[in-house]
Chain A
């Protein structure tokens, strides 16, 4: 197993070692295109015997149990449990708003995507990491096998803030191109003026196990501002003039709480997993604790 150090700070060796022990879990059984390392409900070619059935004309002769034929002179077909691979998608919201915080939310999102992708790669799952809307100009590579870690990291390195379309458009594109089953991890800050509901609603139609990871910077959770401010939206240069006061901050926190709660409820009702996290949370802790608790990894 190659244990080379990643060329950047996305994944530390310790983290990699930790991640190696994990595997992605899905609550649904999916059929991958290639034989994977997972058992499928479907019968197929694998080493794990499942059942016998009578031979009917046209069946693959390779699966006839010749030993049984020798004993009973009847043709039985040997059925095996098919082993499948898992499709893992990580969608990173690379809007400008993600480029905030220290470390930036985008960096945090990249780290998370890399971590989960690495877990998938280790388990020979089909891993696809891309930024929202990147399909048009720079579609993310489909990766398999841990040797693809470098390619994944390279791709993640190349994601720049602001090179994605809107949340809705990006998810729509994604859904159109990826109709299969799998695990989708959407890493975003949900800061969408037009609302995230329409965007997430596209995912409902997909037969995917959807995880929405809501990344917020500490500045957003606990804004440390004072005085008369002219808040400039970095995306559309929208201006909000505020005079900071304690009631205003309290009101902001209430608004944020209700916003998060609204998003959580929205996702829960539609069978999606929602997780709000701050960029302060260490990645290993997040993956090893929170996501494991959520059942994304095992």
Chain B
């Protein structure tokens, strides 16, 4: 019970003097009958030892005095303004952090860890006293405030029931920040006065709260975080011993590098349990069993498996969904299934602008090149045409190669400039000098794969400096002569030396002997493959829950319609079509490169499979708030001809 004193010292003295005065008046009022006695000697002796409690003897008989004293006492008590302000004020604010990461779906405790955690929270809600307020935050890799501070227990319970598991990794920091912002506002602001003595003023009162973290602890330690007013209690959910689990750690498809027509599916299985297990693995293509294998996994070890997808299979099916399943019963069934999309490689739309470059013309016309790209060859005059202006703006082409010509503005496409200096911001091009001697190449980059340029002779070139993020691919003694750098979803590659140049007389001169080398057609093939986007559509790397998925729509066909955006909408279909009735997708549409984000991870949660692209809501918010991206919200996606690009994901074990 708290007491709010509203009286000063003087009023208190006055008030406190009332009861003694009352007693005094009572005794003054008492009129004793005088009685003469022979001697008070004996009486004195009688009442001598009664003197100690004689006053109570007197008071015992006066009910009226007691009532008056009681009244005064109640009056004084009322002046103290007693009330139950909540002695447990600090304990009256609770924040429940519920881990909803994928590992919370483990069933080592019945029915699942998340359900257990929810039951524990419900218990705590039941124990709340009236007047206590609580907040519920669910967190995986991001935090979501399920319920703001409220003392409405039924609302808390309702929101608690609505918490569903996700397939995401755990990041406690986000949740702690959310709780921290409410408990430790603690920031100060300066009072806007000219007074030099202005001191910092606390803008809000810190509100202490008790923080309960319900998690299986599958997160990294959170460093550099001050709890402040928060009293954190970690409540471990799950069994102490390690639950047995066999997971698909990654699942991806790749073109067979030796047989380019073939595709391979790679998967890596991890055994997180403590026993060696032998599991059966089945590969389904569009729900039809294609292959099966049996893998023995040692405890704590992983193993990779590989499936060959024959030509005929691929050719039969333009698009398909590969499903990999482990036939094994373990505590976390979520990661026993993985999906990968299988896409027929689409031929890239390439525009080659060159006055006369036979080597390049031949290189883009090889049989292999035709498999992956459809190349339109135009002279540099095409740059001036309206068709080029429209197409470059609309992003019709995947790749535009500028040979001996320079565009006025960079198009909505990947570009390769050969020996010219394109109007790229933040790029720096040096003076033409020579001869550059090749020192090093970046063989890891897809553009430079399988290329040996050590024997290439270059007459003259200019050094290139890329903006941050760019990669130098060929280093010479004068600097980088081949570099690539991203530009708003596209990539620009600049080759710092010409193949064919013109001298002062306008004669065509050969600047390098690269065209005669074996590496040149391979380089062109790499350019078509990488910058043309063929590789991206073909290869299907693992996508983990929470990661953004890069989707690429097919190139529009009606590119001749001037000034019209060709791509109006993109429909993203989730596997098994388990999308909710209204999954809001945020699409950045000005290009064919679409970034898709699900706003609601409930979509993912409802499917309760890691096949769904549960995409990091943090990233989604960032995109959503960014005014540059200007996302258009499509409540219902209109169907168009763009086929589904299945987002893939494989289990990530938090």
- Which residues of A approach B to under 8 Å, CB–CB? 96-98, 100, 105, 189, 191-193, 217, 219-220, 225, 227-235, 238-243, 245, 248, 251-252, 255-256, 259
Q: Are A97 and B57 in contact, CB atoms less than 8 angstroms apart?
A: no
Q: Are B32 and A191 in contact, CB atoms less than 8 angstroms apart?
A: no
User: Could you write out 22 A-B pairs with CB less than 8 Å apart?
Assistant: A97-B38, A97-B39, A105-B38, A189-B39, A191-B38, A191-B39, A193-B39, A217-B38, A219-B37, A220-B38, A229-B32, A230-B32, A231-B34, A231-B37, A232-B37, A234-B37, A240-B43, A243-B57, A245-B57, A252-B46, A255-B42, A256-B42
A238 contact set on B, CB distance < 8 A = 40, 44
Task: Pick the most buried of A217, A238, A255: most chain B CB atoms within 10 A of its CB.
Answer: A255
Q: Interface digits, B29-50 against A, CB 8 Å rule (1 contact, 0 not)? A: 0111111111111111111001
- List the B residue with the shortest CB-CB distance to A189: B38
Contacts known (A239-B40, A243-B58); A259 close to B45, Cβ less than 8 A:
yes
Bound Cα distance A14, B635 (Å):
137
Q: Are A251 and B46 in contact, CB atoms less than 8 angstroms apart?
A: yes
- List the A residue with the shortest CB-CB distance to B58: A243
Task: Pick the most buried of B39, B44, B50, B57: most chain A CB atoms within 10 A of its CB.
Answer: B39
- List the B residue with the shortest CB-CB distance to A99: B38
B193 within 8 A of A: no
A234 contact set on B, CB distance < 8 A = 36-39
Chain B binding surface SS class: mixed
B61 within 8 A of A: yes
B39 contact set on A, CB distance < 8 A = 97, 189, 191, 193, 233-235
Q: Report, as a range, how many residues of chain B touch the other chain.
A: 20 to 34
Task: Pick the most buried of B30, B32, B58: most chain A CB atoms within 10 A of its CB.
Answer: B32
- What's the minimum C-beta distance from B25 to chain A, rounded to whole angstroms? 16
Q: Are A248 and B58 in contact, CB atoms less than 8 angstroms apart?
A: no
Chain A binding surface SS class: mixed
A229 contact set on B, CB distance < 8 A = 32-35
Residue from B32, B36, B38, B42 within 8 A of A241 (CB atoms): B32
Q: Are A248 and B47 in contact, CB atoms less than 8 angstroms apart?
A: yes
Number of A-B contacts (CB under 8 A): 85
Bound Cα distance A251, B202 (Å):
71
- What's the minimum C-beta distance from B26 to chain A, rounded to whole angstroms? 12
- List the B residue with the shortest CB-CB distance to A225: B35
Q: Are A240 and B57 in contact, CB atoms less than 8 angstroms apart?
A: no
Bound Cα distance A231, B32 (Å):
9
Bound Cα distance A251, B48 (Å):
11
Q: Are A251 and B40 in contact, CB atoms less than 8 angstroms apart?
A: no
A-B pairs, 7 with minimum CB distance: A191-B39, A97-B38, A230-B32, A240-B40, A233-B40, A100-B38, A240-B43
Q: Are B43 and A230 in contact, CB atoms less than 8 angstroms apart?
A: no
Bound Cα distance A233, B33 (Å):
14
Q: Are A240 and B38 in contact, CB atoms less than 8 angstroms apart?
A: no
Query: Which residues B417-444 have CB closer than 8 A to chain A?
Result: none
Q: Are B46 and A248 in contact, CB atoms less than 8 angstroms apart?
A: yes
Extra 6 A-B pairs, beta carbons < 8 Å, given A230-B34, A255-B42: A97-B38, A189-B38, A189-B39, A191-B39, A228-B30, A233-B40
Q: Are B47 and A240 in contact, CB atoms less than 8 angstroms apart?
A: yes
Residue from A98, A193, A251 within 8 A of B41 (CB atoms): A193
B43 contact set on A, CB distance < 8 A = 231, 240, 242, 252
Query: Which residues B492-537 have CB closer than 8 A to chain A?
Result: none
A225 contact set on B, CB distance < 8 A = 35
Bound Cα distance A252, B41 (Å):
11
- What's the minimum C-beta distance from A217 to chain B, rounded to whole angstroms? 7
Residue from A191, A193, A217, A242 within 8 A of B47 (CB atoms): A242
B36 contact set on A, CB distance < 8 A = 231-232, 234
Residue from A98, A227, A228 within 8 A of B38 (CB atoms): A98
- What's the minimum C-beta distance from A161 to chain B, rounded to whole angstroms? 10
Q: Are A228 and B32 in contact, CB atoms less than 8 angstroms apart?
A: yes
Residue from B41, B50, B57 within 8 A of A191 (CB atoms): B41
Contacts known (A191-B41, A238-B40); A248 close to B35, Cβ less than 8 A:
no
Task: Pick the most buried of A192, A219, A230: most chain B CB atoms within 10 A of its CB.
Answer: A230
A241 contact set on B, CB distance < 8 A = 32
B44 contact set on A, CB distance < 8 A = 238, 240
A191 contact set on B, CB distance < 8 A = 38-39, 41-42
Bound Cα distance A251, B34 (Å):
21
Contacts known (A241-B32, A242-B47); A231 close to B40, Cβ less than 8 A:
yes
A248 contact set on B, CB distance < 8 A = 46-47, 50, 57
- What's the minimum C-beta distance from B579 to chain A, rounded to whole angstroms? 93
A189 contact set on B, CB distance < 8 A = 38-39
Q: Are B35 and A232 in contact, CB atoms less than 8 angstroms apart?
A: yes
- List the B residue with the shortest CB-CB distance to A227: B33
Residue from B30, B32, B42 within 8 A of A252 (CB atoms): B42
Bound Cα distance A233, B35 (Å):
9
Q: Are A251 and B32 in contact, CB atoms less than 8 angstroms apart?
A: no
- List the A residue with the shortest CB-CB distance to B38: A97
- What's the minimum C-beta distance from A52 to chain B, rounded to whole angstroms? 61
A217 contact set on B, CB distance < 8 A = 38
Bound Cα distance A176, B36 (Å):
35
B46 contact set on A, CB distance < 8 A = 242, 248, 251-252, 255
B57 contact set on A, CB distance < 8 A = 243, 245, 248
- What's the minimum C-beta distance from A151 to chain B, rounded to whole angstroms? 30
Bound Cα distance A123, B44 (Å):
45
Q: Are B34 and A233 in contact, CB atoms less than 8 angstroms apart?
A: no
B61 contact set on A, CB distance < 8 A = 243
- List the B residue with the shortest CB-CB distance to A195: B41
Bound Cα distance A232, B30 (Å):
17
- What's the minimum C-beta distance from A167 to chain B, rounded to whole angstroms? 12
B40 contact set on A, CB distance < 8 A = 231-233, 238-240
- List the B residue with the shortest CB-CB distance to A239: B40
- What's the minimum C-beta distance from B517 to chain A, rounded to whole angstroms? 129
Q: Are A231 and B35 in contact, CB atoms less than 8 angstroms apart?
A: yes
Q: Are A230 and B35 in contact, CB atoms less than 8 angstroms apart?
A: yes
Bound Cα distance A217, B39 (Å):
12
Bound Cα distance A255, B35 (Å):
20
- List the A residue with the shortest CB-CB distance to B30: A228
A219 contact set on B, CB distance < 8 A = 37
